[in-house]
Amino acid sequence: MNWISNYVRPTINSFFSRREVPENLWTKCESCGTMLFHRELADSLNVCTNCGFHMNLRPRQRFHSLFDLGLYSEIPVPGPVADPLQFRDQKRYPDRLRAAQKATGEIEAMLVAEGEIGRTPVVAAAQDFAFMAGSMGMYVGNAFLAGVERAIATGRPFIVFSAAGGARMQEGILSLMQMPRTTVGVEMLRDAGLPYIVVLTNPTTGGVTASFAMLGDIQIAEPGALICFAGPRVIEQTIREKLPEGFQSAEYLLEHGMLDRVVHRRDMRDELITILRMLMGLPPAVRGELPPPGPVQTAEPPAAPDAPPAAPDGGTPKP
């Protein structure tokens, strides 16, 4: 009996027991509800393989797919004063920051890096919507200006991927001050004659839309991205009317002249390479690996003049 209870029964129970499945193996599409396996989703850059919906892409994932060989260097960002207003709602502001840092593994809502895209050196910044909805506070303003200053110092184009719910209310007027600060940064790039490209992702709203996100030399958006100042729900509640289908979507803005391109995420890198090299006056990008260098061609030395014939008696020949 002991053998059955101690060995056979636990073995049978473990065989038929339900295996634990990690929570992050499957992701549900926010648009069509399809369950997507994590490897399939990673291969498609967080784009639903069923309906094509573009889910949020974290900055490090985006940079890995954007830069050549996934190699880039982070640009340090000066940290602002922590909780200058001593703000508190349901939680203290420092507690919210620590919770967001623990959940995302990032310091703040924007990451700035430099590297090469199609062998073209660039500086890029990306907002992290997973960090307090990508809201723009003093740190994001500092990060944007750090990217601008690095781009000017190295003579490189500056690319920004926006994804935000607007300004960060916990920082009050100090958050709103980042709107003119980032606008000044864009003017610094223009004075330096450097391209500034904005890629608007879903969603880009509020103070971010009203500042640096709509000031690019080239405005690109991902398909279906919500791009607005006030969201459709707020507008409908204010005017008490139903908005048109697709209002404030990337396609709607493209149709009405607010954007230059709507580009699928899988094609974004190639599109940026083409635009960057055109704006920088560079030749078209070389696709694939560079060919090995050919043999060095050296000029042949000139032939020596014919020697004069020798005299028969061994003396000096007459001219």
pLDDT at 3: 60
pLDDT band, residue 201 (cuts 50/70/90): very high
Per-residue pLDDT at 81: 86
DSSP string of 16-31? Answer: HSPPP--GGGEEE-TT
What is the average pLDDT score of the chain? 88
Strands (E), 128-247: 158-164, 196-204, 218-221
Which of these, 66, 217, 251, 213, lies nearest to 134 by C-alpha position?
213
Distance CA 62, CA 173 (A): 31
**Whether residue 105 has pLDDT greater than 60:** yes
Tokens of 270: 């190639």
Given its phi and psi angles, is residue 271 left (phi above 0), alpha (psi -120 to 50 degrees) or beta? alpha
Q: What is the mean pLDDT of residues 295-318?
A: 59
Higher-pLDDT residue of 311 and 47 is: 47
Here the tokens at position 54 are 């573009």
Look at residue 279 in the predicted model and tell me its pLDDT. 95
Per-residue pLDDT at 253: 95
Which of 111-125, 222-236, 253-267 shows the lowest mean pLDDT across its residues?
222-236
pLDDT tens-digit readout, 147-171: 999 999 999 999 999 999 999 999 9
Say yes or no to pLDDT of 317 above 90.
Answer: no
Coil vs helix vs strand at 71: coil
pTM above 0.85, yes or no: no
pLDDT at residue 289, rounded to an integer? 60
Q: Which residue has the higher pLDDT, 306 or 120?
A: 120
Query: What proportion of the chain, given as a percentage, has pLDDT over 70?
Result: 82
Pairing of β 110-117 and β 120-127 = antiparallel
Contacts 24+ apart (CB under 8 A), 92-99: 93/170, 93/171, 96/132, 96/170, 97/132
Of 123-127, 248-252, 306-310, the one with minimum mean pLDDT is 306-310
- 192-217 exposure pattern, b = at least 16 Cβ within 10 A, e = fewer: eebbbbbbbbbbbbbbbbbbbbbbbb
* 26-57 residue pLDDT tens: 999 988 999 999 899 999 999 999 999 999 99
Q: Quick one: pLDDT at residue 203?
A: 96
